[in-house]
Structure 1
Amino acid sequence: MELTNIHPAEAYLRNEQNPSFLYIRIYGERRKLFINRGGENAIGIIAKGKRKRGYIFTDWDNIEKIYTPSQDNEKDRNRKLLLKYQRLARLATHTNNWLRKIAVADPEKSLYENHITTGTVIDGMCISLARIEKYCGSTSMALFRKALKDGKIFSTSRFDFCGYDGTLWCEPDGEGGMKAGFSKEYRDCGNGYYYLLINDKFMIGYDID
């Protein structure tokens, strides 16, 4: 392929000496392109609200600006996020397979690559149990904490949380541990933001659906 006849952003990505991602401005927004090297060499754009999931990109004519990426900055950011998860997880008094993954995660890989999160914009974002308690009530929080300690299944009914439907839950993981989390979903909808309990005080970002 003659790289001189294609868009500079595409030429950059198809050059294997460059990183496999590139930030651009399109329709007034900063977005991330990527290339699937080693596969079909398809170029995609990360979907809004995601970090790793995207779709095929072909809208080259509407690119307004190219931002040359820094691979070192991306690695540094990933490393700092992982260290945050590890620091918080060390304070946990419960255990499960997810927490064990955090403890032994590869610092050279992202949270997504370590199978700790699904790679979204809520990676690293925390919600305290104290804040959740203000919305679900002290009784529900007390029942949640007791179920977590006793290794029992528990789930609140949906409650208002900052304009979303909140649900607090925990359950045995089948391996002698306990899984627990908090769902912040759009009203009357099964989609939203999902957090997992990382220690006795905080939920932390895991997935967006």
Structure 2
Amino acid sequence: MDIDEYTQKETSYPNMHEAEQFLRNPKNPSVLQVIIEKKKRTLFINRDNGIIGIKIPQKRNKGPVFSSWDTISKVCYPQPEEERNEKLVRKYQSLAAKATFSNPYLRKVKAAVPGKSLYENGLTTGVPIEGEVITLEAIRKWCGDYTYSQFQKALKEKRQYRSGRFNFRGYDGTLWLETYQEGDSYMKPGDIHGGFSKERRNCLNGFYYLLINDSNFIGYDID
């Protein structure tokens, strides 16, 4: 994408790397992704002192000062907000179309307005994991064949299910399914709603994904 969409010409300098120009423009976001040695890395600028750093994985805007501009092979400019929203909504809708079951969340996905954000459409709580997919097959490698098959069987039979906690990439993982109960004002008869919880070890908060079709869970909330 053309840098001129994000960097004003009057604030650019001929000898300054385009990534640095982007970050030093106060009208742009304070973070920018770049490719270094075939890996996507995140640069950030401290608006108070003008220092640019490179983010350490798993840390929020923390890392050493960055000045090795010649190591950048590509700058990954952010998409315009409306374009990004449409792409994410279409992704959710494409995945939801493959589901063999129904529930209020899937109906909301199908009715979502592409120009609005996932949060505005009520599909996420506006968290960094929105759009992130975890497959049931990936979970199977950690929960084991028994839990995997019990979950699949319960989904096919449309009955409630909750697994025990299992190790998932250093977190406590849990699979669950909920069905319509008499008097339920949220779900309709025949609906089934499911999800995957990835919680911090021995803790009741973490990352939460909803079952969007028979094989995939998608990011919804962080607690």
Q: TM-score range by the shorter chain?
A: 0.5 to 0.7
TM-score, normalised to structure 1, is 0.68
CA deviations over 1:114-150 (Å, ceiling 9, x no partner): 0011111111111110111111111111111121222
Partner of 1:24: 30
Among 93, 106, 111, the alignment partner of 1:104 is 111
Q: Give the number of the structure whose alpha-carbon radius of gyration is greater.
A: 2
The equivalent of 2:126 in structure 1 is: 119
Aligned to 1:13: none
Distance 2:132 2:78 in 1: 23
Distance in structure 2 (CA, Å) of the matches to 1:111 and 1:95: 19
Q: What corresponds to 1:87 in structure 2?
A: 94
SS of corresponding position for 1:166: strand
Unaligned runs of 5+ residues in structure 1 are 1-20, 32-58
RMSD: 2.4
Distance 1:23 1:135, change over 3 A: same
1:152 maps to 2:159: yes
User: Whole-Å Cα distance in 1 between the matches of residues 28 and 208 of structure 2?
Assistant: 28
In structure 2, the partner of 1:167 is: 174
Q: Distance in 1 between matches of 2:165 and 2:51?
A: 43
1:179 paired residue number: 193
Identify the residue that residue 207 of structure 1 maps to in structure 2: 221
User: Is the contact made by 1:148 and 1:171 (CA closer than 8 Å) also made in structure 2?
Assistant: no
Match of 1:140 among 129, 141, 147: 147
**Pairwise mapping of residues 16-95 of structure 1 onto structure 2 (< 5 A)?**
23-24=29-30, 30=44, 61-62=48-49, 73-95=80-102
1:72 shift after superposition: 7.0
Instruction: Give the aligned length.
Output: 156
**Residue in 1 aligned with 2:15?**
none
8 Å Cα contact 1:24/1:64 also seen in 2: no
Amino acid at match of 2:188: E
Q: CA deviation at 1:108?
A: 1.4
Q: Confirm or deny: 8 A CA contact 1:151 1:172 kept in the other structure.
A: yes
- Paired residues of 2:95 and 2:213 also in contact (CA < 8 A): yes
The answer to whether the 8 A contact 2:162-2:174 is kept is: yes
Partner AA of 1:107 in structure 2: P
Query: Residue in 2 aligned with 1:130?
Result: 137
Which residue identity does 2:117 align to in structure 1? S
Distance 1:156 1:131 in 2: 16
Return the TM-score normalized by structure 2. Answer: 0.64
Q: Secondary structure at the match of 1:100?
A: helix
